[in-house]
Each structure stands twice: as C-alpha cells, then as structure tokens.
Amino acid sequence: MLDVRAVAVDPGPIARALERRGFPAARETVARIVAIDADRRSALMSLQTAQERRNAIAKDIGRVAAAGDEGRGEALKQEASLLKDEIRVLEEDARKAGEALREVLAAVPNLPHADVPDGTDETFNVELRRHGGPAEPAFAALEHFDLGERLGGMDFERAGAIAGSRFTVLRGPLARLSRALSQFMLDLHVNEHGYEEVQPPLLVRDDAVFGTGQLPKFAEDLFRTEDGRWLIPTAEVPLTNLVRERILEAGELPLRLTALTPCFRSEAGAAGRDNRGMLRQHQFDKVELVSVVTPEEAAREHERMTACAEEVLKRLGLSFRTVVLCAGDMGFSARKTYDIEVWLPGQKAWREISSCSDCGDFQARRMDARFRPAEGGQTRFVHTLNGSGVAVGRALVAVLENYQQEDGSVAVPEVLRLYMGGAEVIRRA
C-alpha cells in the first residue's frame, strides 16, 4: 500500500510512476486519493476541535456549578449535548473517509523503482546475465510431457479423471525425482544460504492474503474454501504474514525464511496457454524464499536472494538467464523484480523458473509490520522480499528436458543422486 502522505505532498511523481506501470486512470486515481485524504483530514481536525471543546465544557460545568450559576450551567449542558451529536457525525465522516481511502489504495500497485526499465510487457525486459548457453542435443529433443509419459511416470489422463485439467500424477522414479529436487533445494537454502525452514499453514484468512497484495484485485486467481479461508497461491503469503502487526527489534533483522509447500492457483487468465504438461498447473510445489529487512538492506538482499535461486540451477547444471522486468510486467506488490529463465531444449525456449521481488514497504504497510531502529527513535516499516527458490515442477521439467538421452532415458544430475538412492539414470520400468 502506498504512503498516503507521500501522495498528498507530491502527487505528480506518484501519478507518473503509476503511468510507467500502465495503471489505468493513474492521474485520476491519485487525484481521488488526495481529495479523499483531504476530506478525512478535515473531518479529523473538526473532530479534534469538537472533542477539545467538549472537554473544556466538562471542566466549565464543574466550576459554574460550584459558583451556583445555574443559567450558565444549563447553557453549557445544552452546548455539550449539541457537541455530542456533532462528534458522532464527525466520527462517522472520518470513518467513512478512512474506509474509502483504504479501498482506493488497496487497488493501487506498488511504484516501480527508479532503475526499473520502461515498458509494457515482457518484450521490454532486459537480460542482465546468462549462465551457459541454449543447449541443443544431437537428437530431436522431446518436451517433458512426452518424456514423462514414455517413462511411465507422468499421467495426465488419470489426473484429469480424478481432478480435471491442469493436474498431474507423478509415479515411481519421477515422483522421487520431484521429492529429491525439493529436498536438495531446502538443504541448500537452510544449510548454506542461512534461511530458516518453516512449515506454514496452507489455508489463510482474508487479512493474510490482503497483506501480501493478492486481495482484493486477484481474488479470481485464488481458490477459496466454504468457510472463507484461501488456499495459498504461494508460501510468500503465510511466511510474510509471520511479521504481521508486529514490531521487530533491529537485531532480529534480516529475517530469512524458506518453506516447501503446495501452491494452488486457478489460472483464471491462462486459457489456451500451456494446456499440456506441467508448466501451468492448479497445484504445484515450490520452495519459497522470504526476507524481512531494514530499508537500507533491501537492495543488497534482493541481489543476495536472486543469487541463492541462481545457485540452485548452477548446481543442477542447467542453463539460465536472469532478466530485470520492465515496469509494465511486474507483479502488483513488487517495486523491482528479477526473473530467472531456464532453457528448455524440448520447447527451444527460455521459461521462467524463479521470480525474485523487492516489495519495499508496500506489503509492510498493508500488514502494519515495523521494526524499532537500533539507534532509537520512531518505529519504521520493514521492507519485504520474496522469491522462488525454485518452483519444483518447473525444475523437474527442466531436468527432464536437459538430461534426456537419445534412448528416451533421463540422466540424474549428480547433485540429486544422493537423494535418489544413488540412481544415475531413469528408465522406463
């Protein structure tokens, strides 16, 4: 959520930043925020004046009564009665203005960082670095779903019969390969990268999903239970909300958390995209990384988090490139995002496997998450960051396509063999 004071003081740059993101009616929305905030402030000032007068009258009534001036006392009581009604109206005006302001602000995305490139979509994203090249095998590479089905370990037909489209049943060595990837990633992030492993709830309340920015705008992308809870679209939601409505001590920061969880997404806007295979599923596993830091640490932490995700792919021996997203391609809560795209020889394309975002204080304002500076003074909002470290299903896809062999078998990356009971190759049973 944006800082309404910053909007009120200098609305022009805020409107221009929202225009960079392609936010519709940016200037009109900013003007509305300024107007509603002015009404709210006016109501609060009038309310404060009325309350101060009410308190003064209460003292005067006591003095007048002691002096025996009944006429003056009666006049003060009448004024106090009128003020009571006025205060009730002003409180309601202030409440309504506050709710209206919160409603408008809740739908406004984060502002892009100054060094984020301009652009409207992924074609304007800028490649920063590349690890390895687009590997092309000497034979015709298959896509992962063909490989998985031929190996007998990937069953889309049975999954469809059980749950419908965009689900997969993994069996045998491929199920174990998926588990091996998850365990490898967790071990790497916990043992070498200093993240604390967490097992969070998979069902959360409205406030949690609002806090990280999925509500209210993206409700259609989520699954909701009949009792009003939400299935998490990413572990970012429960992990980040661990600091909700808390004041942390400076010594507790940086806070680095990781979790392996299923993620659930309706893929409401994905009709016709990646219908086959595991790239776009309603349910998938992901190892998530979340950092909570001071504002001064945020930029360095963003680079560090991205490097942690890149290290997963380096150790798996996969080719990838890292791009910075343009202003128009970023997620709602992000002010700067790096996407890591892995090479898939079966598709002959780079596909996103991790997205690491610096959200600034945007989520912290929605969650009221603060810290107490070591040097003292007023509390400040923390800065939050999140990233995939990485998506397990997409890592499985990448391993299958990059390690496929001409006879249809798949070599097991060396770093995973310990988790695979020493297996070096996956063949059809």
Secondary structure of the chain as H, E, C letters: CCCHHHHHHCHHHHHHHHHHCCCCCHHHHHHHHHHHHHHHHHHHHHHHHHHHHHHHHHHHHHHHHHHCCHHHHHHHHHHHHHHHHHHHHHHHHHHHHHHHHHHHHHCCCCCCCCCCCCCCCHHHCEEEEEECCCCCCCCCCCCHHHHHHHCCCEEHHHHHHHHCCCCCEECHHHHHHHHHHHHHHHHHHHHHCCCEECCCCCEECHHHHHHCCCCCCCHHHCEECCCCCEECCCCHHHHHHHHCCCEEEHHHCCEEEEEEEEEECCCCCCCCCCCCCCCCCCEEEEEEEEEEECHHHHHHHHHHHHHHHHHHHHHCCCCEEEEECCHHHCCCCCCEEEEEEEEECCCCEEEEEEEEEECCCHHHHHHCCEEECCCCCCCEECEEEEEEEEEHHHHHHHHHHHCECCCCCEECCHHHCCCCCCCCEECCC
Whole-angstrom Cα distance, residue 101 to residue 99? 5
Q: Which residues are catalytic?
A: 265, 280, 352, 355, 394
Q: Are 197 and 288 in contact (CB under 8 A)?
A: no
Strand-strand pairing, 196-197 and 154-155: unpaired
- Tell me the one-letter amino acid at 380: R
Whole-angstrom Cα distance, residue 151 to residue 247? 52
Q: 151: how many CB neighbours lie within 10 A of its CB? A: 21
